[in-house]
Amino acid sequence: MILSISLWLLVAVLILWILLDPVSRISRAIFEVLIPLVNQKPIDLKNKFGEWAVVTGSTDGIGKAYAKELANRGFNLVLISRNAERLEKTKSEILTISSNIQIKLISADFSKGREVSVEIEPHLRDIPVGILVNNVGKQYTYPMYVGEVPEDELWDIINVNIGAATLMTRIVIPGMQKRQKGAIVNVSSGSELQPLPLMTVYAATKVYLRSFSEALRVEYNKFGITVQHLTPLFVNTKMNAFSHRLQVSTVAVPDATTYAKNAVATLGKIDSSTGYWAHGIQAFFTLIPPVWIRTKIGEMMNQTFRKDYLKQKNL
């Protein structure tokens, strides 16, 4: 009798243990989808974090749209990208809509590594940065096997996706700590939900951002600093130019403006989010199968995009 009860107990504990991980992952996804609906009250981000926001990679795509959304909310901006002309153009575009803010520009190429942060630091020394958006990112030109990706491209991806977020955070976080307020928004990617063959290194750099964000949050929450980890799925930007399928805006693949509006609305409400309700639903379904199945599906998806690209280029 006792043996039989112990055996059943053991089986029950085993089943619970097996279910614990998927259930907690799925509950997080449901929470993420529901929170913008349940908590619709907008947060006064300027009051909460400070008057200046720095956005890296802000002349195109999500970064530019995010900067515009912050400008709408009255933030002064520091825009950082590598092309001075495009920075000026972005500045005038934003000022025509939000004329009552200040905008400073810094041209910097994050693929150059550490020397860039040394150049940027003096520009930010006297600016009380309230929000840092670590948005800049680099993706493969198209889905490739690691042995096909040019070495320079791999190194740039590591510098831009990992180095920039790390060193930009290092520059602004002591000031935030002193002021006892601020937010670091790390733009990661849904590609970190599982290993992603044919975008192997890109996805791996985004896993770094998750670990970095989660540990940083524990270090700095007590100093009044919010660390948000954003994991967008596909957004219609030039980053995905390798496939025509991702260059059409839909509910599932929003344009950058729609994405950024939704993402900014989650800041201060949720620490880790896709940033956009329809991506939250996609992430919910993505997380149901075990990792090995998702990895296989990811490979199949990227084989399709690879074919799209090679066909586009007549290769």
Ligand X SMILES: NC(=O)c1ccc[n+]([C@@H]2O[C@H](COP(=O)([O-])OP(=O)(O)OC[C@H]3O[C@@H](n4cnc5c(N)ncnc54)[C@H](OP(=O)(O)O)[C@@H]3O)[C@@H](O)[C@H]2O)c1
Binding region for ligand X (CB under 6 A): 57-63, 81-83, 86, 108-111, 135-138, 160, 187, 189-190, 232, 234-235, 237-240, 256
Cβ nearer to ligand X, comparing 46 with 241: 241
Q: What are phi and psi of 260, to 5 degrees?
A: -65, -40
Q: How far is the CB of 206 from ligand X (least distance, A)?
A: 7
Q: Which neighbouring-strand residues pair with 131?
A: 53, 183
Cβ nearer to ligand X, comparing 85 with 126: 85
**Which tokens hold the place of 34?**
């529901």
Cβ nearer to ligand X, comparing 12 with 207: 207
Please list, in sequence order, all residues whose beta carbon lies within 8 angstroms of the beta carbon of residue 201, skipping any fewer than 6 positions away: 140, 146, 149, 154, 157, 158
Cβ nearer to ligand X, comparing 235 with 270: 235
The reply to whether 220 belongs to the active site is no
In the sheet that 129-134 helps form, which strands lie side by side, from edge to edge? 103-107, 76-81, 52-56, 129-134, 182-187, 225-230, 272-273
Catalytic residue among 66, 140, 142, 202: 202
Cβ nearer to ligand X, comparing 110 with 220: 110
Q: How far is the CB of 250 from ligand X (least distance, A)?
A: 12
Distances (CA, A) of 143 to 125, 172, 192, 233, 252: 39, 34, 15, 16, 20
Q: How far apart are CA 266 and CA 69, in angstroms?
A: 13
Residues in the chain: 315
Cα-based angle 43, 47, 53 (whole degrees, multiple of 5): 95
Q: How far apart are CA 254 and CA 247, in angstroms?
A: 10
Q: Positive or negative, the Cα torsion across 174, 220, 208, 242? A: negative
Please list, in sequence order, all residues whose beta carbon lies within 8 angstroms of the beta carbon of residue 156, skipping any fewer than 6 positions away: 111, 138
Q: How far is the CB of 258 from ligand X (least distance, A)?
A: 12
3-class SS at 236? strand
Residue 222's identity, in one-letter code, is K
Cβ nearer to ligand X, comparing 176 with 246: 246
Q: How far is the CB of 37 from ligand X (least distance, A)?
A: 23
Q: How far is the CB of 46 from ligand X (least distance, A)?
A: 23
Q: How far is the CB of 243 from ligand X (least distance, A)?
A: 11
**Which tokens hold the place of 59?**
């002349």
Active-site positions read: 202
